[in-house]
């Protein structure tokens, strides 16, 4: 009985890709509910390309003597292999089942893969991407750029409120969010370049590019210091 209760707590995201020829491919991501760390069936050995010395981003804070593998690379290995023979622009119907509900969308493979990578990277153990874990806990498959911006700003401002309640200095000006997304952009560029050297097809690399476009959009709003597109939503609060 105890084991069943534990299993029910695991956050599970099941992506089913249904191709035009009727073929189906299913990819399941499991997340530990408290740490929000990816649960991966660990292989005895990971390929050499996943080692930190081979995949490290220029601004990575991890030390090679303490971390043999890049956590992002190690956890992207499975999905890269899974979609390595699938063109990114193949049209599919994607069904996403979470603990709470289901989503469906007719789109390209790369959009679905990008949505999965958006779960994997923050939960991989990467200290840069880890700050996006709250978005994973309330994952929204196929989110638009506007939805992503709203979720990011809301997440960050709630984090600042929680910091204030604990007596820490909040960053109401969003300066640290600007730096976070600058770091994420650098990371995405590095990951895309590294994956490009591995793939026979382009599903995963294009998915990373899609994610970086979302990061670019958030960064643009922050750089311009312009959130006016959201003000009309809060007219009952703003006088």
- How does residue 206 score in pLDDT terms, banded at 50, 70 and 90? low
Query: ∠209-93-76 over CA atoms, to 5°?
Result: 40
> Which residue has tokens 């956050």?
11
Residue 71 lies in a domain: yes
Q: How far apart, in whole angstroms, are the C-alpha atoms of residue 110 and residue 44?
A: 29
Q: pTM to 2 decimals? A: 0.85
Instruction: Say if 239 falls within a structural domain.
Output: no
Domain that holds residue 131: 2-234
Residues 99-114 have pLDDT tens digits of: 999 999 999 888 888 8
Section 12-33 average pLDDT: 94
Mean pLDDT of the chain: 85
Q: How many CB atoms lie within 10 A of CB 187?
A: 22
State the pLDDT confidence band at 223, using cuts at 50, 70 and 90: low
Q: Is residue 55 part of a domain?
A: yes
Confidence (pLDDT) at 180: 92
- In this predicted structure, the answer to whether residue 90 has a pLDDT above a threshold of 90 is no
* pLDDT tens-digit map of 122-154: 999 999 999 999 999 999 999 888 898 899 999
Per-residue pLDDT band for 166 (boundaries 50, 70, 90) equals: very high
User: Percent of the chain at pLDDT above 70?
Assistant: 84
Per the structure, how many domains does the chain have? 1
110: left (phi over 0), alpha (psi -120 to 50) or beta: alpha
């Amino acid at each position: 009985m105890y084991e069943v209760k534990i299993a029910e707590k695991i956050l599970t995201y099941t992506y089913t890709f249904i191709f035009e020829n009727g073929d189906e491919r299913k990819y399941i991501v499991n997340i530990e509910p408290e740490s929000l760390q990816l649960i991966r069936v660990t292989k005895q050995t990971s390929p050499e390309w996943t080692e930190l010395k081979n995949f490290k981003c220029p601004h990575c804070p991890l030390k090679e003597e303490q971390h043999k593998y890049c956590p992002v690379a190690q956890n992207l290995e499975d999905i890269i292999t899974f979609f390595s023979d699938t063109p990114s622009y193949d049209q599919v119907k994607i069904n996403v089942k979470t603990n709470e509900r289901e989503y469906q969308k007719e789109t390209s493979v790369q959009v679905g893969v990008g949505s999965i990578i958006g779960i994997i990277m923050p939960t991989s153990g990467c200290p840069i991407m880890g700050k996006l874990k709250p978005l994973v806990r309330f994952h929204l498959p196929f989110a638009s750029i506007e939805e992503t911006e709203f979720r990011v700003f809301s997440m960050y401002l709630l984090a600042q409120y929680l910091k204030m309640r604990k007596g820490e200095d909040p960053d109401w000006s969003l300066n640290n969010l600007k730096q976070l997304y600058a770091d994420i952009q650098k990371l995405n560029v590095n990951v895309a370049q590294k994956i490009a050297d591995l793939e026979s097809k382009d599903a995963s690399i294009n998915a990373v590019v899609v994610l970086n476009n979302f990061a670019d959009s958030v960064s643009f709003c922050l750089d311009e210091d312009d959130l006016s597109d959201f003000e009309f939503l809060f007219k009952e609060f703003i006088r």
